[in-house]
Amino acid sequence: MESGLAREAMFWLDMQSLLHGTRSVHRGETRTQPYGRVPGEGAAAVALTASIEPGTGWARLLGTGIADEPAIHASGDVCIGAGLSRAARDAIDLAASYGPDPIGSIMADLNGEPYRADQFGFTAMRLSRRLAPQWRRSVPALASGDLNAASSVAHVALAAYAARSQPGSSPQLILASSDDPLRAAAVVGAFDLIPKLQEACA
């Protein structure tokens, strides 16, 4: 459970110039910030099990990765997604051991900040050879606002639900950022796309 709507959180976002719609004075004129984070609040939960029996879960967690991003927002440097790319590659490499299916969609925690847009663009470009030709991008924050610490768990839950609802769908890559250097990625896939797990259940 997380909320970005508390007074302290809103104040911090405003002081960091991260909040969408804030007003600031520039060269004697008041300007409205056209970009920035739209805070939200929400809760999510994911239950993990070691079972590989069909019907015991919505989806399979095929790979994960973590890394540090050298250029965070507070540094003022342009973020080229080095840490997020490394985390994503590690997750995709682990997922590849279960099958060769390319990533069909990316669920990103884009939230209106130009910094994260830069990070995502560079990361997607680096991963292009690992993605399906018609891969899709999903941005849950457009509907929920930025869920802060709950975002990653909520996105894994959404990806698992999609895998359960659409049997045979391609694996999904979930990308996660933070205001600190930590970056993470996970690959979620439907059970029927994982031949090695199916063989183990036979």
- Of the pLDDT bands very low, low, confident and very high (cuts 50, 70, 90), residue 20 is confident
The per-residue DSSP string of 71-125 comes to S-GGGTSPP--HHHHHHHHHHHHHHHTT--PPEEEEE----S-HHHHHHHHHHHH
Q: Above pLDDT 70, what percent of the chain? A: 91
Note the pLDDT of residue 194: 54
Residue type, position 37, single letter: R
> Which pTM value belongs to this model?
0.86
What was the pLDDT predicted at 52? 67
CA distance 104 to 42: 26
Quote the DSSP letter at residue 54.
Answer: T
Mean pLDDT of 190-202: 55
Q: How many other CB atoms are found less than 10 A from the CB of residue 65?
A: 21
Tell me the pLDDT band of 76, cut-offs 50, 70 and 90.
confident
Does the structure show a pLDDT above 90 at 61? yes
Residue 103, pLDDT > 90, answer yes
pLDDT by residue (tens digit) across 166-179? Answer: 877 899 999 999 99
Q: How many degrees, rounded to 5, is the angle at CA 70 between CA 64 and CA 116?
A: 70
Across the chain, mean pLDDT equals: 87
Whether 201 has a pLDDT exceeding 50, the answer reads no
| Amino acid of residue 121 | G
Whole-number pLDDT of residue 202: 41
Chosen CATH of 45-201 out of 1.20.120.550, 3.40.47.10, 3.40.50.2300, 3.40.640.10: 3.40.47.10
Would you list the domain boundaries of the chain? 45-201
Give mean pLDDT, residues 69-82.
90
